[in-house]
Structure 1
Amino acid sequence: MSKENLKVCLVGSSGGHLTHLYMLKPFWENKDRFWVTFDKQDAKSILKDERMYPCYYPTNRNIKNLIRNIGVAWKVLRKEKPDVIISSGAAVAVPFFYLGKLFGKKLIYIEVFDRIDKPTMTGKMVYPIVDKFIVQWEEQKEVYKKAINLGSIF
């Protein structure tokens, strides 16, 4: 499958994580894509013309919503059948990445810009299974040895 024909799943929390993913527009704007994020006003505004699936929040350290989001991930991934799943966090990425791996999808995780020398919880959880782990600071490569530093998204 060519890069132009990729079907892309962009999954992340609303706020800064969603902003990170939206800034990748030169990559995703000409691809078949869909989004998974919180059903909040900022996400609705940014993604008003996009295909979006809501997920449950809060996600960090919330077992009930993790289980509910496993169900969301199962339904969405089986329906949409993306080729690649991209996330910059936070915890909602975890069920999508683990089920995506089970379904044979390519996984790309982008560690957040504001963590320079310490890992995020989501980063630590998905690092072992991703196909590409991208960081934005050279210092982050000390934490994530197999990471690729592509510099700042901003």
Structure 2
Amino acid sequence: MNREKHVMAVASAGGHWVQLMRLRPAWKGLRVTYVTTDPDFCQTVYQYAEDDGEPLPGFHTVVEANRWQKWRLIKQLLGIVFIMVRKRPDVVLSTGASPGYFALRVGRLFGAKTVWIDSMANAEELSMSGQRIGKHADLWLTQWEHLAKPEGPKYLGSVL
């Protein structure tokens, strides 16, 4: 049976989400599940799909958390695990921050290919999440040529 590839695209609210939305043409025609921290973004995702003539994607939210909110991070991780168990994506892609980090780590455990694209805003150094997830991603990218290293991340051009 030849099933269509399923992409899970994950990003926290703000600039990470904006950058993720700019990547949409890369998975046009594939089954997509979006995961973010702001339920209001659902309307934006569905509007993009309607404008592009694509089927409506899946949309899920997890709690917003940062490194100083340990209990919220645990809740966010559990939310990611719950979504991953139900959706079983083939590819997990993120532009950052903590929900993307967790999604790539959990996705890898489920056998998904993983892609991390470090935030364009991090021009002087890699993001903290990017530094921590790099060795766990199948493809680790930066949008700044001077941040690329032989062991990763790779620079393949600035697209966002």
CA distance in 2: counterparts of 1:128 and 1:18, whole angstroms:
23
Per-residue CA deviation, residues 75-111 of structure 1 (Å, 9 max, x unaligned), is: 1111111001000101111221111121111110001
Per-residue CA deviation, residues 33-88 of structure 1 (Å, 9 max, x unaligned), is: 011101243x2342235421111013343211211112111111111110010001
Aligned partner of 1:44 in structure 2 is 42
Aligned partner of 1:18 in structure 2 is 17
CA distance in 2: counterparts of 1:40 and 1:60, whole angstroms:
21
Per-residue CA deviation, residues 17-40 of structure 1 (Å, 9 max, x unaligned), is: 111111112112211001110124
Corresponding position: 1:114 with 2:121: yes
Corresponding position: 1:32 with 2:23: no
AA at the equivalent of 2:9:
L
What is the CA RMSD across the aligned residues, in angstroms? 2.1
AA at the equivalent of 1:6:
K
Secondary structure of the structure 2 residue equivalent to 1:68? helix
AA at the equivalent of 1:106:
K
AA at the equivalent of 1:109:
W
Secondary structure of the structure 2 residue equivalent to 1:46? helix
Structure 1 unaligned segments of length 5 or more: list them. none
TM-score of the superposed pair, with normalisation by structure 2: 0.85
Corresponding position: 1:100 with 2:107: yes
Q: For the Cα contact (< 8 Å) 2:65–2:73, is it kept in 1?
A: no
Instruction: Percent identity, please.
Output: 25
Give the count of matched residue pairs.
Answer: 151
Structure 2 unaligned segments of length 5 or more: list them. 47-55
TM-score of the superposed pair, with normalisation by structure 1: 0.88
Q: For the Cα contact (< 8 Å) 1:59–1:92, is it kept in 2?
A: no
